[in-house]
């Protein structure tokens, strides 16, 4: 994948003892003609040119470096490169239903936050059963005014997000951390749903699932 580098000659160009300061920034892609300009050498038998690079791990949460000029670091050329993604998600999602409140399912409130300078679209891709699933359970992912089923009964069986008939869906487009106005850089969600009417509440059930979220960075 091509990488883009914006370079600034921070110090100087030294030619035969003559100091020529420059602060012009140039963006370049590997193999293209240089845009850093040229200097004619007259009546000198040598010239010293600074050669500066930047090698490290790209940080999408802060594209500038306070210790160097922000334009000398490489960034992914493709705005959809996964390197741009940095989000904070819940470590675990809990839900439950009490016999005194049956059949309603409730949960705490959870938050997904975008830490990147790029917009990030968050989607719910699939949910899978890990252990002790409850047949004919209904689970929804609820955010803002929307409520999307992620597990639902259908014709006597249980359908999971990602199965035929229950496709993946976009939850939110989160703005970049440096953007102003528009959408938020986070969203909140809860889990809602219902336990099937025939479920025996006298026996504690601990169903476990795994929800897969997908992230796509873009301008």
**57 and 156 assigned to the same domain:** no
Lowest-pLDDT range, 11-15, 38-42, 113-117, 155-159?
11-15
Give the three-state DSSP class for 25. Answer: strand
**207 and 146 assigned to the same domain:** yes
Closest CA to 137 of 107, 90, 109, 97: 97
**102 and 202 assigned to the same domain:** yes
Domain count, the chain: 2
pLDDT for residue 30 is more than 60: no
Greatest pairwise CA separation for the chain in angstroms? 96
**46 and 100 assigned to the same domain:** no
Domain that holds residue 145: 83-218
**96 and 164 assigned to the same domain:** yes
**97 and 137 assigned to the same domain:** yes
**32 and 66 assigned to the same domain:** yes
What is the DSSP secondary structure assignment for residue 210, as one 8-state letter?
E
**149 and 64 assigned to the same domain:** no
| Domain edge (last residue) among 77, 108, 123 | 77
**41 and 106 assigned to the same domain:** no
| Domain edge (last residue) among 77, 110, 127 | 77
| Domain edge (last residue) among 77, 102, 123 | 77
Q: What is the pLDDT of residues 73-97, one digit of tens each?
A: 677 778 888 989 999 999 999 999 9
Residues 22-49, mean pLDDT to the nearest whole number: 60
**73 and 98 assigned to the same domain:** no
Residue 183: which CATH number? 2.60.40
Are 124 and 191 contacting, i.e. CB atoms less than 8 angstroms apart?
no
- Beta strand 25-29 with 18-20 is unpaired
Confidence class for position 7, pLDDT limits 50, 70, 90: very low
Angle at the Cα of 212 (from 196 to 158), degrees rounded to 5?
A: 25
CA-CA distance, 72 to 40, in Å (whole number)?
Answer: 25
Angle at the Cα of 159 (from 158 to 162), degrees rounded to 5?
A: 155
**87 and 183 assigned to the same domain:** yes
For the chain, percent of residues with pLDDT exceeding 70 = 75
**116 and 209 assigned to the same domain:** yes
CA-CA distance, 191 to 142, in Å (whole number)?
Answer: 6
What is the DSSP secondary structure assignment for residue 82, as one 8-state letter?
G
């Amino acid at each position: 994948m091509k990488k883009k580098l914006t370079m600034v000659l921070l110090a100087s160009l030294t030619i035969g003892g003559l100091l020529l300061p420059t602060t012009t920034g140039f963006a370049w892609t590997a193999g293209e003609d240089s845009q850093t300009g040229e200097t004619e050498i007259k009546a000198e038998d040598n010239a010293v040119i600074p050669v500066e690079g930047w090698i490290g791990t790209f940080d999408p949460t802060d594209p500038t470096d306070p210790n160097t000029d922000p334009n000398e670091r490489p960034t992914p050329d493709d705005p959809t490169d996964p390197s741009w993604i940095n989000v904070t998600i819940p470590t675990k999602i809990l839900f439950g239903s009490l016999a005194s409140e049956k059949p309603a399912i409730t949960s705490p409130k959870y938050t997904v936050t975008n830490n990147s300078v790029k917009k990030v679209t968050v989607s719910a891709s699939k949910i899978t059963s890990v252990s002790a699933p409850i047949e004919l359970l209904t689970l929804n992912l609820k955010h803002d005014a929307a409520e999307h089923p992620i597990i639902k009964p259908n014709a006597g069986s249980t359908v999971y997000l990602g199965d035929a008939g229950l496709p993946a869906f976009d939850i939110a487009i989160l703005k970049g951390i440096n953007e102003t106005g528009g959408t938020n850089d986070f969203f909140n969600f809860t889990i809602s749903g219902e336990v099937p009417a025939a479920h025996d509440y006298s026996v504690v059930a601990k169903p476990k699932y795994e929800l897969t979220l997908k992230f796509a960075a873009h301008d």
